[in-house]
A = this chain, B = another copy of it.
């Protein structure tokens, strides 16, 4: 088991500083990614092209953060040769940044849809669902990061469970939108924009779950991915 205190128990003060630095950089990246999700959804709902453009531009910053945290992890592995829980922490961080970067990509795609919708005209339906599911995935990302910051396994587990609700709501929103398109085929292009946004949100939920599962791995050393404890295949792709 690791916890925050164990971070202060290293023989080398420098090693300690390295670990704390990479960990806080990951949390900073997480904070920015969370803001990107929030801003992208807001830009879409408020038809705010300026905000959408900012989200698109900020994605570069997130990509740079990914590369730099990754390099930090490799430097620590090479110089400090960490073992046991420290090694798991570094591996966990180097995997979490992949998910954070992809959440950033999805936020950028949502911002792109916001721009398209402001050109093509508003979609006739789906904004309520986007706001609702958007709030939930944002909370998932936030709680996954909190779980990471506090090495809180219980919170991580609850984030992971949460994903099932989102998949369910995504599916139901999709059904409703398909019915709408059938009734009004001229709306298909615009409704598809909404569907892509919902799908991006659903993916963000998946990535948040991955991060939560990495927290469990870092703390317990147990790989819970693909385990029935936190998900099962049926649920995992039922959103499709």
Q: Quick check: is A172 within 8 A (CB to CB) of the other chain?
A: no
* Chain B contacts for A181, CB-based, 8 A: 181, 185, 188
For A228-240 the 0/1 string (1 means CB < 8 A from B) is: 0000010011001
Q: Quick check: is A78 within 8 A (CB to CB) of the other chain?
A: yes
Does A223 contact B71, Cβ atoms closer than 8 Å? Answer: yes
Does B67 contact A225, Cβ atoms closer than 8 Å? Answer: yes
Task: Tell me the interface secondary structure of chain A in the complex.
Answer: helix
Known: A226-B63, A237-B109. A84 touches B78 (CB 8 A): yes
Does B87 contact A240, Cβ atoms closer than 8 Å? Answer: no
Nearest chain B CB to A163 CB, angstrom units: 14
Q: CA–CA, A127 to B182, complex, Å?
A: 22
Does B188 contact A112, Cβ atoms closer than 8 Å? Answer: no
Known: A60-B233, A74-B91, A95-B98. A186 touches B182 (CB 8 A): yes
Query: Which A residues form the contact surface with B (CB < 8 A)?
Result: 59-60, 63-64, 66-67, 70-71, 74, 77-78, 81, 83-84, 87-88, 91, 94-95, 98, 105, 108-109, 112-113, 178, 181-183, 185-186, 188-189, 192, 196, 223, 225-226, 233, 236-237, 240
